[in-house]
Structure 1
Amino acid sequence: MSDYDVIVIGGGPGGYVTAIRSAQLGFKTAVVENKHLGGICLNWGCIPTKALLRSAEVYHYATHAEAYGLTVQGVGFDPAAIVKRSRGVSAQLNAGVGGLLKKNKVDVIWGRAALSAPGTVEVAAAAETEHGKPNPAPRGALGAGTYKAKHVIVATGARPRVLPGLEPDGKLVWTYFEAMVPETMPKKLLVVGSGAIGIEFASFYRTMGAEVTVVEVMGQVMPVEDHEIAEHARKRFEKQGMKILLEAKVTGLKKGADDVTATVELKDGSKQEITVDRVISAVGVVGNIENLGLEKLGVKIERGCVVTDGLGRTNVPGVYAIGDVAGPPMLAHKAEHEGVLTIEAIAGKHVHPMDKRKIPGCTYCHPQVASVGLTEKKAKEEGYDVKVGRFPFVGNGKAIALGEPEGLVKTIFDAKTGQLIGAHMIGAEVTELIQGFVVAMQLETTEEDLMHTVFPHPTLSEMMHESVLSAYGRAIHI
C-alpha cells in the first residue's frame, strides 16, 4: 500500500496536466492509466485527426496548384502512409507525456482504478487492448495494488455515444477510432452527426475524394455554432460536393458484404435509402463513469456525468472530477484548465470557478470554424440588447493573397456596456485567431479597448478589428 497526497484517475489531457500541476504545488502525486498516456485526445482524437486533416489540406493545395501559378503533376495519396504519419505524431507526443510526468516526479500506476472508499484506490491489472494490440506499461510504472490518497481526482474522459441501430462493428460502421485508421479510402461515406467530430471526418474524406453525405437531426449543421456561421459552413460544404441532410435521422442500417444501405427519414416524413461503403457514427460522447465505485460512495451523477461545484469538488469529501466525465463542454482544453483550478483550490489558492462561456470551441474542417461566448440568438434570448459586427474575408488583403477569400468574422457586444460577449469565425486559420477574442473576453474588454488596439498589417487578424468597428458603424474596408 502506497500513500499519496493526490491520485488522479486517468492520464488524458485533464489528468496528466492536473498531476503535473499537483506535483509543482508540492503534493506527492500519482496518475493511474489503463490504456495510453495522453488519453483519447492525444492518441485517438484531437492530435491525430489534425495530422490527417493536415495531409488533406496539403493534398487540396496540390490539386489546386494552378490557382497559385504552380504546376504539379501526378498528385496522389497513399492511405497507409497518411495513417502512419498520423499515428507517428501521436506516438511522439505520447512519449512526451511520459517524460513530463517523470520530470515532475509523478508516479504512473498502470491498471484499472476504482474507489473502494474515499481516499482508497484499488488498481487491477490493465486488461485493455486496442485494435488487437496490448498497451504496454511505460517504463518504471507501478502496477496493481491498493493506494491511498487524501484527494482523488477522477479524470476518466469519455467514449463515443452508441445509438440503437447504429452500433459500430469496426468494419462497416465506424466510430472515430476506425475512421482514423482506414485500410482503404471509402468511395462513398455516410456521417451521422454534424458536430465537431462528424464534420471534421466528413471534411477529411470529402477532400480525399469520397462522396460524403452528412445526416443531422437538428435544423442546422454544427448545431452549437452561431446560426449565421453554420449557414456559411453549410454552403461551403455543399459547394465542395458534400450532401447535407438536416432535420433527418437514420432509422435503419442493412449491411452487405462490403457496403451498408442506410434508411434515412427526412424532415417531411419521407424516407430514402443511401448505399455507402462505410458509416461513421458521430453522435456525441458519454462520460466514463462506470466501474469506478462512484455509485457505492454516493457520488452524485446526473445525465451520465459527475456533478461538481465548479472547482471539481463532488458531494463526497476528498473525491473530485474534471474534464469530460464532469460534463460539457467536452473539450481537452476545458479539462486541462478545470484540472488546474481544482488542484489549486485543493492547495488553498484563491481561484474562481471556471466560466464555461469563455471556453473557445474549434472545428478543423475546411473551412475552419471557431467561436467563444454567446451566439447572437442566445444573447437575445438572455435579454441582451446586442450590437453585432461582421467582416468578410474578401475584404482582407492577407486572405486574398492566401487564396482564401471566403469567410466571416462576427462579433457580438452588449449594447449597454460595450462588453464583448461573443465572437464567431469561419475561414482560414480562425482556430488560431479566436484566442485573441478569448483573451479579450477574459479581461472583460469593451469595444473601445478593441477599437484602440493596433493589429498588424497585413494579417488575417485585421478582420477581428474591422468586425469590432463594424458593430459600431465604423468599419473601414467594407
Structure 2
Amino acid sequence: MGDYDVLVIGGGPGGYVAAIRSAQLGLKTAVVEREHLGGICLNWGCIPTKALLRAADIFRYAQHAKDFGLTITGEISYDPQALVKRSRTVAARLNSGVDFLMRKNKIDVIWGEARITAPGEIGVAAPPSFGERAQFPKPKATLGEGTYKAKHIIVATGARPRALPGLEPDGKLVWTYFEALAPQAMPKSLLIVGGGAIGVEFASFYRTFGAKVTLVEALPQILPAEDAEIAAFARKSFEKQGIGILTSAKVAKLDTKDGSVVATIAAEGGAESMVEAERVISAVGVVPNSENLGLEALGVALERGVIKVDGLLRTNVAGLYAIGDVAGPPMLAHKAEHEGTVCVEAIAGLAPHPIERTRIPACTYCHPQIASVGLTEAAAQAAGYELKIGRFPYLGNGKAIAMGETEGLIKTIFDAKSGRLLGAHLIGAEVTELIQGFVIAMTLETTEAELIETIFPHPTLSETMHESALDAFGRALHI
C-alpha cells in the first residue's frame, strides 16, 4: 500500500521522536500505532504521574502553611476524581500535541497492530481493544490495515507491567500503574510490591493523601539502582513520613477478601509476617513488548525478550532497528528519545555518536526527589578508581532554608587521579531539575577544576552542586 524510507512501529517517546527526526532529514516516514500516540510515558506514565505528584506537593504545602506564616481557614481536603481528571487532561493535551507534530512533519500515522512479515515489509491488522485505556481519539489523518514496505524498520514497541505468579493484577484489588493512576477513591491502606522508582513514587503520592502505605522490596535496599547512601537517606525520610518499608522480603502469598487483600510477607531469613491492605500495587518492573512482531521468523537476536542492538541501535538483521524499552534498560523515556535520534541519524549517514549509557540521568519524583547520573560509589570502587567524594547537605543552603526544604544531600564522585566527574547522586527538593547540570558536565568531560571555577548564582539550590564538588577536594565553604 505504501513505500517508505523509514517506518517506525510504536508511537511512544522513542518512536515519535525518531519519526520527527527522520522527516527533518528528508526521509519519507510513517509510524504504526495501535493504542495512542505518546505511548505509555505520555498517557499512563511519566506525565500523568507528575501531574498527580504535583497535586500532592501542593496538598503537602497547604498542610504546612503555618510554617510560612500563612493561615488557611477551613479543612484542607481533596477530590480524588478531580485529581485524576486534571492528570488525564494534561495527558490528553500532550497526546494531541504529538498528533499535531505528526501532521506538521508530514508523517503518515498508520492505525493498527504491526507484524514484520518479511525483510522490509510489515502487515498491519486492526488494533486490539484497550478498554478505558484507549481514551484518546485516533489521529486526524491516518492510514489503516494493509501491507507497507520500508527500507528501514524501527521497532519502538515499549514495555508493559511485569506480572509475578500469584500477584497477577485484576484491576480491582491488585493494581498496575494503570489503575493506580486513576483511582475512583483513595484507599485507606496500600501495599506496594517493588521499591524501584515506580513503587516509590506511588508510595509518596498515596501517603501524602493519608493512606497507610507498606512498601516491599526483594533486594536489600529500596531504589536498587541508586547509590546506597542516597537510598538509605531516602528510606529514612520515607519512614519518617510514615511509610512502612520491608526490604529483603517477598510476597509469598496473596489472599483476597471482600474489599481487601491479605499478603504473607516472607523475609530473607524465612520469617513471615502478614499485611492487610485495601489495595495492592504491583510495581515489579516491566517486560519488553517484543512478542507477535515476527522477529523470531526473521532470526532477530533476543535476550529475555529484549531485542539486542549495537551502539547505533542496529539489530543483527539488515534494515531492522530497535529503540527504547524494547531494546533494554535503562527503560526511560529520555533514553528512548535519544536512541531514536541516534538511530535515524545513522540511517541518514550522519555518523552520530553511539549513546553513552553512563551519562543517562535517572529521576524519581517522590518527596524528596531523587536524581542521579554516572557511577555509584560502589560501582566506581568496583571499577578500580581511586575516589574523591564530596557531600553537601541542603541544611547548609540558603535557598533550601528559605523554601523550607532542608532535607537533602548532594553527593559527587570524582576520579582522584584525573579529577574527572564519575557520578553525581542527589536527593532533595527539585533535584530532578538540578541533575542536568552534572549531565552536561559529564558530556563535556568536566573535571573538578571546571566545576570549582564555575560561578553558581546565589541564592539557588544549584549552589549545593558547587559545594559538593568543593567538598570532594577539601574546599567546601559552608560546612
> What TM bracket, shorter-length normalisation?
over 0.9
Aligned to 2:63: 63
- Partner amino acid for 2:385? Y
Q: Distance in 2 between matches of 1:96 and 1:136?
A: 13
1:112-123 equivalences under 5 Å are 112-123=113-124
Aligned to 2:39: 39
Q: Distance in 1 between matches of 2:422 and 2:447?
A: 9
Equivalent residues of 1:110, 1:144 under 8 A apart: yes
Q: Distance in 2 between matches of 1:134 and 1:241?
A: 35
Aligned to 2:26: 26
Aligned to 2:390: 389
- Partner amino acid for 2:474? G
Equivalent residues of 2:390, 2:413 under 8 A apart: yes
Aligned to 2:267: 266
Q: Distance in 2 between matches of 1:92 and 1:58?
A: 22
Q: Deviation at 1:304?
A: 1.6
1:96-115 equivalences under 5 Å are 96-115=97-116
Give CA deviations for 1:372-410 in whole Å, capped at 9, x if unaligned: 000001100010101000000000000000000110000
1:49-88 equivalences under 5 Å are 49-73=49-73, 74-88=75-89
Aligned to 2:476: 475
How many residues are aligned here?
478
Q: Deviation at 1:449?
A: 0.6
Aligned to 2:184: 183
Q: Deviation at 1:126?
A: 1.5
- Partner amino acid for 1:207? T
Equivalent residues of 2:92, 2:136 under 8 A apart: no
- Partner amino acid for 2:460? T
Query: Is 1:2 aligned with 2:2?
Result: yes
Q: Distance in 2 between matches of 1:351 and 1:133?
A: 36
Q: Distance in 1 between matches of 2:28 and 2:131?
A: 31
TM-score, scaled to structure 2: 0.99
Equivalent residues of 2:413, 2:422 under 8 A apart: yes
Equivalent residues of 1:8, 1:19 under 8 A apart: yes
Identity of aligned residues (%): 67
Query: Is 1:339 aligned with 2:334?
Result: no
Q: Deviation at 1:139?
A: 1.3
1:123-142 equivalences under 5 Å are 123-131=124-132, 136-142=137-143
Aligned to 1:435: 436
Q: Deviation at 1:59?
A: 0.4
Q: Deviation at 1:133?
A: 5.5
Q: Distance in 2 between matches of 1:199 and 1:127?
A: 31
Equivalent residues of 2:157, 2:326 under 8 A apart: yes
Q: Distance in 2 between matches of 1:72 and 1:248?
A: 42
Q: Deviation at 1:136?
A: 4.0
Q: Distance in 1 between matches of 2:427 and 2:140?
A: 44
Q: Deviation at 1:351?
A: 1.2
Equivalent residues of 1:128, 1:135 under 8 A apart: no
Aligned to 2:197: 196
Equivalent residues of 2:48, 2:88 under 8 A apart: yes
Aligned to 2:244: 243
Q: Distance in 1 between matches of 2:442 and 2:19?
A: 28
- Partner amino acid for 1:422? G
Counterpart of 1:194 in 2: which secondary structure?
Answer: coil
Query: Is 1:150 aligned with 2:151?
Result: yes
CA RMSD of aligned residues (A): 0.8
Q: Deviation at 1:267?
A: 2.8
Farther-moved stretch of structure 1 (164-173 vs 347-356): 347-356
Q: Distance in 2 between matches of 1:58 and 1:133?
A: 29
Q: Distance in 1 between matches of 2:395 and 2:268?
A: 35
Counterpart of 1:279 in 2: which secondary structure?
Answer: strand
Q: Deviation at 1:116?
A: 0.3
Aligned to 2:419: 418
Q: Deviation at 1:128?
A: 2.5
Q: Deviation at 1:3?
A: 0.4
Q: Distance in 2 between matches of 1:131 and 1:430?
A: 34
Counterpart of 1:422 in 2: which secondary structure?
Answer: strand
Q: Deviation at 1:52?
A: 0.4
Q: Distance in 1 between matches of 2:166 and 2:380?
A: 37
Change in Cα spacing, 1:451 to 1:275, as seen in structure 2 (3 Å) is same
Query: Is 1:446 aligned with 2:437?
Result: no
Counterpart of 2:142 in 1: which secondary structure?
Answer: coil
1:367-386 equivalences under 5 Å are 367-386=368-387
Q: Deviation at 1:135?
A: 5.8
- Partner amino acid for 2:119? P
- Partner amino acid for 1:376? E
Equivalent residues of 2:35, 2:134 under 8 A apart: no
Query: Is 1:162 aligned with 2:163?
Result: yes
Q: Distance in 2 between matches of 1:395 and 1:377?
A: 26
Q: Distance in 1 between matches of 2:176 and 2:421?
A: 37
Equivalent residues of 1:387, 1:413 under 8 A apart: yes
Q: Distance in 1 between matches of 2:394 and 2:41?
A: 31
Change in Cα spacing, 1:442 to 1:253, as seen in structure 2 (3 Å) is same
TM-score, scaled to structure 1: 0.99
- Partner amino acid for 1:30? A
Q: Distance in 1 between matches of 2:67 and 2:129?
A: 49
Farther-moved stretch of structure 1 (107-116 vs 68-77): 68-77
Question: Any stretches of 5+ residues in structure 2 without a counterpart?
Answer: none
- Partner amino acid for 2:39? G
- Partner amino acid for 1:55? A
Q: Distance in 2 between matches of 1:363 and 1:139?
A: 34
Q: Deviation at 1:138?
A: 1.4
Equivalent residues of 1:128, 1:134 under 8 A apart: no
Q: Distance in 1 between matches of 2:318 and 2:266?
A: 48
Q: Deviation at 1:118?
A: 1.1
